[in-house]
Chain A
């Protein structure tokens, strides 16, 4: 199906073990209210499951919410996306990420880490921009 150029498709999910979902629900609702298509899942998604949903739903951006150290396995998600040929999808992380561990995430290909205190509008704005980039990249490679 032809994707609307104006409606980014975003997967908001949680990997690993934690289940705190205030942040993921707020961001998902904000993306939806900003006119995006939001795919939202229960917590504890396996990395393979995130890759599968991202592929099937043809998303532009994956938002991973992490409040209790699950960000440590995000680099594994990044590798899995590359392996599945989905490296064009932008991945952002939000939640509690210590400064000294942010670098490892960015090096693995995460586009941005949103820390506590970031206004929702700033987050949706950035997600929209990443979605546009993803679309441009997909169009160029087609």
Chain B
């Protein structure tokens, strides 16, 4: 810029103030009554963002670099350009044998990690003989003991491939897997993966299927689990702090980050109180979120969350190792946004959600099947979900550039605004005495309920249009909807009979001894309770035996019923 700025703009050019005035006039002329737009978190959205909106614009290095605090642009220097996200499709169905076949198939199709969803009966802490057989294996694999886990993971090198288990407290599935590895001679130090669903607070608040032990029992069990894994299974991520359930239950994107980070603080401070060094356990903390269709809001949500967590880890929790400051997360496209009407449209929805997660800088991704609003996913639906990830990764050039939306006036302004709102909600939780207190009193549940009602009103009133639901409906022939097959009752019956025979063949005295050992550990704060669960698995106790005994000793978990 050698020459002085002209006092009047040259023909065809205007200064920025003049250009802005012109645009404002043109905009007002074409949109006489501007509509009010708010994102789901309630932040007003303007029609245009410029350098005036982004507070840090023009300052030196306003965003930092990827892999550097405060990690706005990603937690690693190379992000998806270096190594793309882990493709982690949740699967779970039927018997261990059926699950194993499906697992080997999706690995062949491109899945790069194992993910295991057990049957709802397993989540609830019951063995297959205790529930209605119709409910077995419809949503997940029926694993009740070490043998079932060994069969489920047959042919998979669990010393190499990362395994994530949907495994709530008291973490019986990990115990089964460790013993299965022991039998195969695999060193536990090689085993990597994540205890998904280790966050008992999220289970108390929402999606209570995972909520097994009382709050106090689950709290102790979690910290013992973290301590045990740090010592014996060092590559395992024992803590997955879960925002997913709360967003599915209705929390806004800003609320969900606030609740999840408040939960992470609670758990980290519990670990510190136990004498653990934050730099030893924080690098193994991971997060798990829903990704909704609110595209830019989701991107801003994740960028803001990274910033806030790095600050908390450093300033509040006192971590000194930059590895402890990284906000690592798994994203799952949200089933809430999927429709039963015109179900193939869900493929488009999942694609947009997945892109938001990718631009948000996720570490691993599950894409939903298009048929999830109809039933638990079919094999065909699951294959399209895998292909969607493959297309985004291989064909769409989304991974060429790190944080490609960084520097967008809108995305940066929204990231700042989301951050501000998240911090303000976290302050409310803090003022209520922290996350545990806030959920015990039902405060968080009521906030989520109010947000769910607000979102439902927006849909019911037509303010939020949903294709096929309240807009663009078409006559659909119900016969074209997928036919849902249930697990073959004969195959499941055989599974039950084998299990029953195995269980009855055990020595009653040995089972009694193993249960007593579990109770002793539950009664003594000095013993590591998760270690006792691993011992119980080795001694041949079943999922129900372990869960029932701990529920007896530590209290049955019952969520609050709040309308």
Find the B residue at minimum CB distance from A44: B124
Question: Which of the residues B123, B340, B483 comes within 8 Å of A17, measured between beta carbons?
Answer: B123
Q: Is A41 a contact partner of B561 (Cβ separation < 8 A)?
A: yes
Q: Which residues of B contact A58 (CB under 8 A)?
A: none
Query: 8 Å CB contacts to A: which residues of B132-146?
Result: 132, 134-135, 138-139
Interface size in chain B (residues, C-beta < 8 A): 50
Instruction: Say whether A101 contacts B456, CB under 8 Å.
Output: no
**Interface 0/1 of B545-563, CB less than 8 Å to A:** 0000000000000111111
Q: B453 near A26 (CB under 8 angstroms)?
A: yes
Instruction: Give the Cβ gap from A79 to chain B, nearest Cβ, in Å.
Output: 13
A16 to chain B, nearest CB (A): 6
**Most B CB atoms within 10 A — which of A25, A38, A41?**
A25
Q: State whether the Cβ of A141 lies closer than 8 Å to any Cβ in chain B.
A: no
CA distance A31 to B453 in the complex (A): 12
Residues of chain A from 4 to 24 with CB closer than 8 A to chain B in the complex: 12, 16-22
Q: What residues of A have a CB within 8 angstroms of the CB of B561 in the complex?
A: 40-42
| Contact indicator A117/B339 (Cβ below 8 Å) | yes
B492 at the interface (CB under 8 A from A): no
Interface string of A91-119 (1 = CB under 8 A from B): 00000101111000000000000011101
In the assembled complex, how far is the CB of residue A10 from the closest CB belonging to chain B, in whole angstroms?
11
B250 at interface by CB-CB < 8 Å = yes
B156 interface contact, C-beta 8 A: no
Contact assessment for B373 and A96 in the assembled complex, using a CB-CB cutoff below 8 Å: yes
A45 vs B563: C-alpha distance when bound (angstroms): 17
Query: Quick one: given A17-B131, A21-B249, A41-B561, are A121 and B120 in contact (CB under 8 Å)?
Result: no
With A16-B135, A98-B484 in contact, do A22 and B376 touch (Cβ < 8 Å)?
Answer: no
Q: In the complex, which residue of chain A has the Cβ closest to the Cβ of B132?
A: A73
Total chain A interface residues with beta-carbon distance under 8 A: 36
Residues of A within 8 A of B468 (CB): 117
Residues of A within 8 A of B249 (CB): 20-22, 25
Tell me how far the C-beta of A27 lies from the nearest C-beta in chain B, rounded to whole angstroms.
9
Given A17-B121, A96-B375; A42-B559 close (CB under 8 Å): yes
Interface check B39, CB cutoff 8 A: no
- CB-CB under 8 A from A40, the residues of chain B are 561, 563
Q: Are A19 and B135 in contact (CB under 8 A)?
A: no
Nearest CB on A from B248, distance (A):
7
Residues 104-143 (chain B) with a chain A CB within 8 angstroms: 120-121, 123-124, 126, 131-132, 134-135, 138-139
- The reply to whether B135 and A72 contact each other, CB–CB distance below 8 Å, is yes
Residues of B within 8 A of A119 (CB): 459-460, 470
B339 touches A32 (CB 8 A): no
Contact B484 A101 (CB under 8 A): yes
Residues of A within 8 A of B375 (CB): 69, 96, 98
Residues of A within 8 A of B449 (CB): 25, 29
Known contacts A69-B138, A73-B135; is-contact A43 B483 (Cβ 8 Å): no
Q: Which residues of B contact A17 (CB under 8 A)?
A: 120-121, 123-124, 126, 131, 135, 209
Given A21, A73, A121, which contacts B208 in the complex, CB threshold below 8 Å? Answer: A21
Q: Does B317 make an interface contact (CB < 8 A)?
A: no
Measured in the bound complex, the distance between the Cα atoms of B476 and A115 in whole Å is 14
Chain B 315-356 against A: per-residue CB contact (8 Å), 1 yes, 0 no? 000000000000000000000100111000000000000000
Query: A28 contacts the other chain (Cβ, under 8 Å)?
Result: yes
B interface, CB within 8 angstroms of A: 120-121, 123-124, 126, 131-132, 134-135, 138-139, 206-211, 248-250, 336, 339-341, 373-376, 449, 452-453, 456, 459-460, 466, 468-470, 478, 481-484, 486, 558-563
Closest 3 CB pairs of A and B: A19-B208, A19-B209, A98-B484
Known: A28-B563, A40-B561. 12 other contacts (CB 8 A): A17-B121, A17-B126, A17-B209, A19-B559, A25-B452, A42-B558, A42-B561, A69-B120, A69-B134, A69-B376, A98-B374, A120-B460
